[in-house]
Structure 1
Amino acid sequence: MLTILTPTYNRRHTLPHLYDSLYKQGRQDFEWLIVDDGSVDDTMSWVQGCQAQAEFPIRIERQENGGKHAAINAGVRAARGDWIFIVDSDDCLTPDAVECVADAVAEAVQAPESVVGVCFRKADMQGRLLGLPREREPSPWVATPSQAGRRVQGDLAYVFRRDVMADLPFPIIPGECFVPELYIWNQIGDRGPIWFYLDRAIYLCEYLDDGYTRNFRAHLRRNPGGFLLFYAAQIGREPHWKDRVKAAIRSLQCLVYCAMNAADRSRPTV
């Protein structure tokens, strides 16, 4: 079984669009696992209504608000599928997404090497690819997440083996609620090959005003410890010296923010 894992926080107004896209899948052999990260809207009651009518299993796990990375950790622990496809609560899938993933996984498990993930493209709600178009890479193309990110310059839709994700949980940093996903995705790529299908978009998304992409600087300021883990690791992963320098500068910026946040916490309140 494939687990479609959706971390969510106060997204009752966007979840129906995702649910509709799952309902329209050509294959229904998956479970939808929702991890409610402490929502205060009516997410729970809405999901319970969907459970009564859906043709595929829907489960919901609830936790205190800890951030998307903590919700992913909880979802991996609760997942029943052998492969996990993370789909955000404000996005949706093309009608053939599950079929594409199932076909890729079926091929991957027959490979002589231990494939740890398969990956597809993301597109906007009008179907336009995010990032650069595919050029000469074969399909599937074997690469690391960092290599694929540099090639595509846009977000990608990863599907990983649950057992590998379980071995590599996101670190939880006290007082912070975010760790860049690429920090863990790269570690997963260290465990084995990831197959990239750069000619297929199966994931449709848009960037909301309160989303991560449009609020990068604020996220960096609030979560410097998580970003420091990522940028410090990237210094050794980047192949070009300019990118290594950029990662080092970001790491120093994170250290400054860590010190500022520590000073703020230690300042006595009036």
Structure 2
Amino acid sequence: MLTILTPTYNRVQTLPALYESLCAQTRRDFEWLVIDDGSTDDTAAWLQSCRAQTSAFAVRSLSQANGGKHVALNTGVRAARGDWIFIVDSDDYLTPDAVECMMDAVAQASQAPRLVPGVCFRRADPQGRLMGLPCEDVPSPFVGAPSQVGRMVRGDLAYAFRRDVMADLPFPVIPGERFVPELYIWNQIGDRGPVWFYLDRAIYVCEYLDDGYTRNFHAHLRRNPGGFLLFYAAQIGREPRRLDRLKAGIRSVQCLVYCAIKAAADRRRAPS
């Protein structure tokens, strides 16, 4: 079975679109697991109503104190019942054939002679345009690593990973921070074996909100310098081009500066 894992925080206004897209799936042998990361809106009541009216697939939810998306993903991986986990954000939704496409890819990957820890498709905007660059003349599936394909595509991707591999590689939790870049863990998953990428097919629809991560990158960096430092320090050794290694190094220094500023502010706020 596939677990569709959705971390959410105060997204009761966008969750119905995702729910409706799940109800419209051509294949329904999946569970929808929602991790409510301390929402203060009506998310809990709305999820209860979904559980009461849905029989085509299992709807499960867990609540936790607000700790950030990475902590919610850790919680979801531990609670998931599926062998594979398809991560779908609470402000996005799926095409009607998304689960069918993902499960077909998972079935093929599971028969491979070498461990395939993840499969991946493209994302599109609500108008159906691919996020990032087209990848013409690329075989499908393309076998590679998340960082490598990220450089090719220059856009966000839709991943599903083996639950056992994700359980072995939880996101680090840094006190006082609420974000760690997902690619930090996705790259480590790719170290376990090649990920299969279907770069000619979009099954995931997203629209960047004004309060989302993508449009607030620099604010996230200042608030979560330790998590970003983990990522950029690791990227220095992963980037094949000297210029990209230099950029990762500069970001790492920037994160160190923000860590020092944050530590100084914490000391000033601490009771004497």
Q: Which amino acid in the other structure matches residue 73 of structure 2? A: I
Task: Tell me the alpha carbon deviations over residues 22-66 of structure 1, each in whole angstroms, 9 at most, x when there is no partner.
Answer: 000000100000000000111111111111111110000100000
User: Is 1:208 the equivalent of 2:247?
Assistant: no
Residue type at the aligned position of 2:226: G
What secondary structure is seen at the aligned counterpart in 2 of 1:267?
Answer: helix
Q: Give distance in 1, aligned partners of 2:102 and 2:5.
A: 14
Counterpart-to-counterpart distance in 2, 1:267 and 1:102: 52
In the alignment, the residues of structure 1 paired with residue 95 and residue 209 of structure 2 have an alpha-carbon distance, to the nearest angstrom, of: 19
Q: Map of 1:1-270 to 2, 5 A cutoff? A: 1-54=1-54, 55-268=56-269
Query: In the superposition, relative to structure 1, how do residues 268 and 182 fare at CA in structure 2: closer, same or farther (>3 Å)?
Result: closer
Q: 1:119 deviation in Å?
A: 0.2
> Alignment partner of 2:36: what SS?
strand
Moved over 4 A (4+): none
- 5+ residue gaps, structure 1, are none
Deviations 1:58-114 (A, max 9, x none): 000100000000000000000000000010000000000000001001111111111
For 2:155, what is the secondary structure of its paired residue? coil
Question: In structure 1, how many angstroms separate the alpha carbons of the residues matched to 2:92 and 2:258?
Answer: 31
TM-score w.r.t. length of structure 2? 0.98
Q: Matches of 1:264 and 1:8 in 2, distance apart?
A: 29
Letter in 2 for 1:229: L
- Which whole-Å deviations, capped at 9, do the CAs of 1:216-236 have from their partners, x for residues lacking one? 000000000000000000000
Q: Distance in 2 between matches of 1:25 and 1:268?
A: 51
Using the size of structure 1 for normalisation, the TM-score is: 0.99
Provide the alpha-carbon RMSD of the alignment: 0.8
**Per-residue deviation, 1:181:** 0.2
Unmatched runs of 5 consecutive residues or more in structure 2: none
Amino acid at match of 1:30: F
Structure 2 counterpart of 1:93, one-letter code: L
Distance in 2 of aligned mates of 1:15 and 1:172: 26
State the alpha-carbon separation in 2 of the partners of residues 269 and 72 from structure 1. 30
> In the alignment, residue 43 of structure 1 is paired with which amino acid?
T
State how far apart, in whole Å, the 2-side matches of 1:174 and 1:119 are: 31
**Distance in 2 between the 1:269 and 1:233 partners?**
32
Aligned residues: 270
Distance in 1 separating the partners of 2:269 and 2:130 = 50
